[in-house]
Amino acid sequence: MNYEALYKDVEVLCRKCCSNHQLYQDLTQEVMMVAIKIEGLEQRYEEDRHSLFNYLFATAYKMWNFKTSGFYRQNKKWLDFETENLEDYKTGDSINYEKELEELTHSLSEIDKKWLEEYAKRRCSINKLHTDSGISRVAITKKLDGIFKDLRNNK
């Protein structure tokens, strides 16, 4: 059995499973440990490779995503760092968004402010603004680009 070829195939599976995270090599090693323990691995690798890789991908997925897996507890738990019990955790000054918005838009005309308001109401979607108003997407895009350019220049 060519374990190097199997390792490379499993490495590709693990990269995809964890979205090319820096821990993909550790995950690959854990999945290889599982693969080596499979009875008839050589035969399954040669004859039924598809189902073998489905099983190994499912194994990698569970190791990566399930908080009850040993891999998760050993390697990934620090990624889910919680700050609930930190006594010395200090929060910064809260941001007054209305004041910030007013400072940004003070130089805009009332029409431009209305454009931004309508754009924000539709969750910054040009398509929704087009659907609701009937104005062409090109015209909306040009108008909003001009407004954003003015905001950048007046900063």
Q: Cβ distance 104 to 98 under 8 Å?
A: no
Burial environment of residue 7 by CB neighbours within 10 A (0 to 12, 13 to 18, 19 or more): middle
Query: Whole-structure pTM over 0.75, yes or no?
Result: no
The burial class, CB within 10 Å (0-12 / 13-18 / 19+), for 12 is: middle
The structure tokens listed for 68 are: 């009850």
Across the chain, what does the average pLDDT equal?
A: 84
14 band by pLDDT with thresholds 50, 70 and 90? very high
pLDDT at 89: 52
Task: State the pLDDT confidence band at 7, using cuts at 50, 70 and 90.
Answer: very high
Question: Which pLDDT score, from 0 to 100, does residue 86 have?
Answer: 52
What value, to the nearest 5°, has the Cα angle with vertex 52 and ends 59 and 73?
Answer: 10
pLDDT above 80 for 82: no
CA distance 132 to 16: 40
Specify the pLDDT at position 87.
54
- In one-letter notation, the amino acid at residue 76 is K
The neighbour count for residue 61, using CB atoms within 10 Å, is 18
Per-residue pLDDT, 83: 43
pLDDT one-digit tens code per residue, 126-147: 888 888 889 999 999 999 999 8
24-36 and 49-65 are packed helices; what angle lies between their axes, rounded to 10 degrees? Answer: 130
